[in-house]
Amino acid sequence: MINRNGTHMMPNANRKSWRGTAHVIASIAAAALAAVATPVMAQTPNPLLPRNLSPWGMFLNADIVVKAVMIGLALASLLTWTVWLAKTIELGTAQRVARRRLRKLEGASLDAVARDCGGSSDAVAQLVLSAARESELSGYIIDDDFKERVALRLERVEAAMARQVSRGAGILATIGAVSPFVGLFGTVWGIMNAFIGISESHTTNLAVVAPGIAEALLTTAIGLVAAIPAVVIYNHLARVITGYRAVLSDASAMILLMISRGRRSRAAMMPHAAE
């Protein structure tokens, strides 16, 4: 068609067809652009989305100082349970041996018990051998001062055995007293870094603030996990050690009774020997 100016005019049908084709092409282009842009947007992390807030994820995202505190507290907790296992086995074995030796002291003589102990290294055997050694050094003469000398020897052996079984308990006391403060230090350091991150990001969005504070509070939780079992185990071991020392005290008393009986027997035999 030609208009009044002599130019060609597009028919209405062709015009509508062209507009429909352009609309289809625009839709296809938009779909292709969305398909290309979607993977790119998926690979770009949104800083406002929360990070992995599991304990392991918080550890991995924590500051180097906070990580060092967490690792130290974890090692302290491992040491606590190691000491508990070792001391439980040691004290259980020592108490069984001491009670078995204590039963043999009833109604026996010092020489017979010393021969039975032989080269044993348990606590009651050391008490018996120490008393026998003092008897040997005294020329087997049971005079007035012999019992006092034996009592001094037994007291020294008791103290040495008590120190031996108490080794490692001081570590538990230290862990129980220090771990909460170490965890608090990690918390303070982590919260300080969280506030620095807030100031740098210029936002107070909870998704930005929460991960740093959660990582900081995790150190306090680990400190309590390390401290509470250490205190409980220390108190338990202290009671067991006190009971073990009571058994050693009973053994020392039995040895002194044996010496007193031997002294009375020797005094009773002296008049007959004089006749």
State pLDDT tens for residues 74-98.
999 999 999 999 999 999 999 998 8
**Listed residue (179, 181, 165, 183) closest to 83, CA to CA:** 165
Query: Of the ranges 71-75, 134-138, 222-226, 268-272, which one carries the lowest mean pLDDT score?
Result: 268-272
Q: How far apart are CA 55 and CA 77, in angstroms?
A: 16
Q: Is 220 in contact with 70 (CB distance < 8 Å)?
A: no
Rounded distance, CA 76 to CA 55, Å? 18
Reported for 212-217, long-range contacts at CB under 8 A and 24+ positions apart, including other chains, are 214/53, 214/58, 215/58, 215/59, 215/61, 215/62, 215/63, 215/66, 215/190, 216/66, 216/186, 216/187, 216/188, 216/189, 216/190, 216/191, 217/187, 217/190
Q: Which of the residue ranges 70-74, 166-170, 206-210 would you say has the lowest mean pLDDT?
A: 206-210
Global confidence as pTM: 0.69
pLDDT at residue 172 greater than cutoff 90: yes
Q: What is the pLDDT of residue 87?
A: 93
Per-residue pLDDT, 267: 46
**Confidence at 241, pLDDT banded by 50, 70, 90:** very high
Q: Report which of residues 105 and 62 the model is more confident about.
A: 105
Are 97 and 72 in contact, with CB atoms under 8 Å apart? no
Gap between the Cα atoms of 94 and 170, Å rounded: 19
Phi, psi of 2 (to 5 degrees): -120, 130
Q: pLDDT category, 112, cuts 50, 70, 90?
A: confident
Answer whether residue 252 shows pLDDT above 80: yes
Q: Can you say whether the dihedral through the CA atoms of 45, 48, 49, 55 is positive or negative?
A: positive
What b/e sequence results for 182-198 when a residue is b if at least 16 CB atoms lie within 10 Å of its CB, and e otherwise?
bbebbbebbeebbeeeb
pLDDT at 20 over 70: no
Question: Which of 36-40, 145-149, 207-211, 216-220 has the weakest average pLDDT?
Answer: 36-40
Rounded-to-integer distance, Cα 150 and Cα 133, Å: 9
Distance CA 105, CA 49 (A): 75
Predicted confidence (pLDDT) at residue 111 exceeds the cutoff of 90: no
Output the pLDDT for position 265: 46
- Euclidean distance between CA atoms 117 and 126, whole angstroms: 8
